[in-house]
Structure 1
Amino acid sequence: MAWVTSDAGGTGLSPATSVGGGSARRDDGGQPTVTDTYRISIDDRSGATLRGRVHIVNPDAEQVPPGRDFALRMIIEVWHRIRHGYFFTSGDENLPDDRLHLHLDELENVVDDPALKASFEQLMGLDHGRVVYLTDEQVAEIRAVREIRDHEREQAARQALMDRYGVKSLSVGNDGTPFVRTERDGRAFYDKACEVVTDYRLGEVRNWPPPWDFGDEADEDYDEDAYSDKLAAMTLEDYPYVEFTLTVDDARHLAHMGGGIHFATAIHGEYGW
């Protein structure tokens, strides 16, 4: 992928830094708010190459996705979290908190680099849909369409607004400013990922079978309490994992990455199976 420029406005590593001040990954009732499927650890960065491990921590994830879209999502996920401070405490005594290789304030200028930001925002627009921010007048116009009683007129007015904003839905979100979102394009994201990630290799699965194969409810000898106790005692090293190596076309795509990063995530892979 050609490096994107924007009209808008080999790293020396310190010991890994657990990120404080972030919100715990739990709601006010103490319950998990995100179901993580993987825990990703970056062991080393050398130029345009990363080496690390992906642990499978959820039975819903039967294996580590082999496609380059998953590899690129790893890179973008860390960039996005650094920009917004989205690092969390584990909520589990036996599993580590999210952590960075440098202090958060040391990485702020890196992730705000205009070229890096333009490239990753373009890629996120493909993967999640592009956000189109609205003025109060535009929001009022969308609401007015919903009040049109004649079905044909309402449909025509709705279609005209969707065409104007390049969206397939007039559902208005709000992140402090109202917006609509374009449709995501997973295939286009994968195609771009194959340009950005020039090589992505997975090793053998270790620690298999997984810890959730302790028993089966259909078995007469199945002990639910013992099963739960075993799961609760698992440490990260007990879960299945694979080692990975990935290389990107331009080392600047990894400017924010380094050995010592660890984070829990629910990112997925769609292609390359």
Structure 2
Amino acid sequence: MTDIFHVTIDSVRDATLRARVYVINPDVPDVPEEPTFPLALLADVWWMLDNGNLTDDDDDGHRPQRCPFSPERGREILAGMAMGDELGEVFGLIVGRLIRITEYGYLLADDAKTLLEPRRKAKDVYGRLLGVGRDDISRYAWTPSDPVRFDVRTAEIVTSYERGPLRNVPLWSEAAAFDDPDEPWEEGEREKIAGLAGTADLSNWRAWPVIASRALEAFPYRDFTVTVSHPGYLEHLAAGMSWSTTHTGRV
């Protein structure tokens, strides 16, 4: 999937997280205002650490990934988290989760061997199943996402979420003055854009060539502050973390 935002963590204190979100994709031209968004970010980092995917990485020099500890330390932190299992559940509500099943579709325990009692078929519990298949452990299926349950968990976990103003938005005059060889101006188009006053509308693709020419720090961004109901939801986060994400909090 295409990255939508780039996130940098400024501070984590008790149950409050402060971070900055850069808008990097014109398809989603602003930081979501719904409290499901910061919860999705918490679950995103949980998943990345669980899979060893959040490390220092300069492969994409435009948006470097940063983590102040090793993948091994990340897994240790998850293992000791007070709310780690809950964030794993939240991640499953967003993207679905892998479940183990028998040849006839009955639910298995996490060991992929023990039949859960009372016996229930996965389709009777989860409804529509996605990606049914088999690996070297057992048959499996993916459950669908659950936006209703995700909203419920958000209300239980996120106690406040505040966004700062959208900054680093280019002026229309800057957009009009920029020449992109891959996106030449059509006749009369530049003059129309140049005649607009104030900051550009980020939902208009003509604002983006000049943005894309900038360093990450000069991209449009919002700072945000989120407070959660228990500091255990933030134990896996640290100042200095930086990563790109496909999550918007909209399931």
So what's the TM-score if we normalise by structure 2?
0.72
In 1, Cα distance between the equivalents of 2:237 and 2:81? 17
Alpha-carbon shift at residue 109 of structure 1 (Å): 1.3
Q: Secondary structure at the match of 1:184?
A: coil
Alpha-carbon shift at residue 162 of structure 1 (Å): 5.6
Equivalent pair of 1:162/1:170 in contact (CA under 8 Å): no
In 2, Cα distance between the equivalents of 1:134 and 1:163? 10
**Change in 2 beyond 3 A, CA 1:60/1:173:** farther
**Change in 2 beyond 3 A, CA 1:106/1:171:** closer
Alpha-carbon shift at residue 67 of structure 1 (Å): 1.0
**Change in 2 beyond 3 A, CA 1:101/1:219:** farther
The aligned counterpart of 2:11 is: 44
1:44-94 CA distances to partner (integer Å, 9 max, x unpaired)? 11111111100001111121001111010111111110110123746543x
**Change in 2 beyond 3 A, CA 1:173/1:60:** farther
The aligned counterpart of 2:224 is: 244
**Change in 2 beyond 3 A, CA 1:106/1:182:** closer
Amino acid of the residue matched to residue 196 of structure 1? I
Amino acid of the residue matched to residue 132 of structure 1? I
- 1:185-196 correspondence runs (5 A): 185-196=146-157
1:195-247 CA distances to partner (integer Å, 9 max, x unpaired)? 11111100010011389x8358445465xxxx998555411111100010011
Alpha-carbon shift at residue 114 of structure 1 (Å): 6.8
The aligned counterpart of 1:264 is: 244
1:112 equivalent to 2:69? Answer no
Provide structure 1 residue ranges, at least 5 long, that are not aligned to the other structure: 1-33, 140-159
**CA RMSD across the alignment:** 3.0
The aligned counterpart of 1:214 is: 175
In 2, Cα distance between the equivalents of 1:175 and 1:82? 23
Equivalent pair of 1:132/1:165 in contact (CA under 8 Å): no
**Change in 2 beyond 3 A, CA 1:210/1:268:** farther
The aligned counterpart of 1:183 is: 144
The aligned counterpart of 1:146 is: none
In 1, Cα distance between the equivalents of 2:208 and 2:19? 29
Amino acid of the residue matched to residue 230 of structure 2? D
In 1, Cα distance between the equivalents of 2:146 and 2:54? 27
**Change in 2 beyond 3 A, CA 1:73/1:208:** same
Equivalent pair of 1:127/1:186 in contact (CA under 8 Å): yes
**Change in 2 beyond 3 A, CA 1:63/1:248:** same
Q: Secondary structure at the match of 2:69?
A: coil
Alpha-carbon shift at residue 183 of structure 1 (Å): 2.6
In 1, Cα distance between the equivalents of 2:54 and 2:248? 18
Equivalent pair of 1:132/1:179 in contact (CA under 8 Å): yes
**Counterpart pick for 1:166 among 115, 126, 136:** 126
In 1, Cα distance between the equivalents of 2:249 and 2:148? 11
**Change in 2 beyond 3 A, CA 1:66/1:176:** farther
Alpha-carbon shift at residue 168 of structure 1 (Å): 1.1
So what's the TM-score if we normalise by structure 1?
0.67
Q: Size of the alignment, in residue pairs?
A: 211
Provide structure 2 residue ranges, at least 5 long, that are not aligned to the other structure: 106-119, 177-182, 191-206
**Change in 2 beyond 3 A, CA 1:183/1:228:** closer
The aligned counterpart of 1:128 is: 95
